[in-house]
Amino acid sequence: MQELPEPLDVIAVGAHPDDVEIGCGGTLATLSRQGYRVGIIDLTDGEPTPLSPGPEVRLDEARKAAEILGVHVRETLDLPNRKLFDNYEARVTLAKVFRRYRPKVVIGIADKTPLASPDHWQAMQITDAAIFYSRLTKWDDEFDGLPVHTVSRQLWYPLGLRQMPAPQKAGHFITDISDALETKIRAVEAYETQFPPTKAHVYELLRSQSHYYGAAAGFTAGELIISPTVLGVRDMMASLF
């Protein structure tokens, strides 16, 4: 059996470099500061895009953003931008990553993003399926002999800046990113080809969204995370205070 790398506590999955930073970058930065090992998996390199000269520049931006957030592992899979589809090959490719890094928690994109890339919706479905595939036994030949791994918790992050889900539904919670908001912004700013000066309003949108979610939970800034299951607490007082 092949030698495996040190496990990750959390993996966040995006369709393109910058998706994770926008959706839950503050949460990942906070987790890293708290001592957890976190990783980002980009399903595609996000290229071509209008203002980027090529994949090597976009990947360098992703590397810089990961360093800013304190991410321990970042990998870009060889799936096609603009032509990303939920198919068997894509599911297995991502499931191999889960089997290799054995995360406790996987965070994926939450929903469609109207007027934005349809890759986001496909990424959500690929991630859901890969979590399931990761734990399936009697299928070793499909996964290069990588050991079976069960992801303990699956979460989602909303991506649309102008389609903000209300944060009051059961299973939704707000992470406190008060001390990591500007780190998140700097990570997004690392994508100079995606957010030139003409798109500087994106940073204010991110700040406004973070302050809105934070205020709903009594924080200065926050990010909305969605659980597909109702969350229970073992120590009510510790959870409340």
Bridge partner residues of 197 (DSSP): none
Structure tokens at 108: 């994926």
Which residue, among 124, 128, 101, has the nearest Cα to 38 in the 3D structure?
101
Measuring CA to CA, how many Å separate 57 from each of 63, 102, 188? Answer: 10, 29, 14
Which residue, among 182, 186, 195, 161, has the nearest Cα to 58 in the 3D structure?
195
The DSSP letter of residue 164 is P
Kindly list the structural domains of the chain, giving each domain's residue range(s) and its CATH number in brackets, ordered by start: 10-240 (3.40.50.10320)
- Within 10 angstroms of residue 18's Cβ, the number of other Cβ atoms is 24
pLDDT, position 193: 96
| Single-letter code of the amino acid located at 67 | E
Peptide bond into 103 cis (omega under 30): no
pLDDT, position 241: 75
pLDDT, position 170: 56
pLDDT, position 160: 75
Task: Encode the chain (241 residues) as per-residue pLDDT tens digits.
Answer: 678 999 999 999 999 999 999 999 999 999 999 999 999 999 999 999 999 999 999 999 999 999 999 999 999 999 999 999 999 999 999 999 999 999 999 999 998 888 899 999 999 999 999 999 999 999 999 999 999 999 999 999 998 776 655 554 557 899 999 999 999 999 999 999 999 999 999 999 999 999 999 999 999 999 999 988 778 878 877 887 7
Give the integer Cα–Cα distance in Å for 148 and 150: 7
Measuring CA to CA, how many Å separate 31 from each of 23, 49, 97, 105, 137? Answer: 15, 31, 20, 12, 31
The percent of the chain in helix, strand and coil, each rounded to the nearest 5, is 40, 15, 45
pLDDT, position 240: 72
pLDDT, position 111: 87
Calculate the CA 46 to chain-centre distance: 15
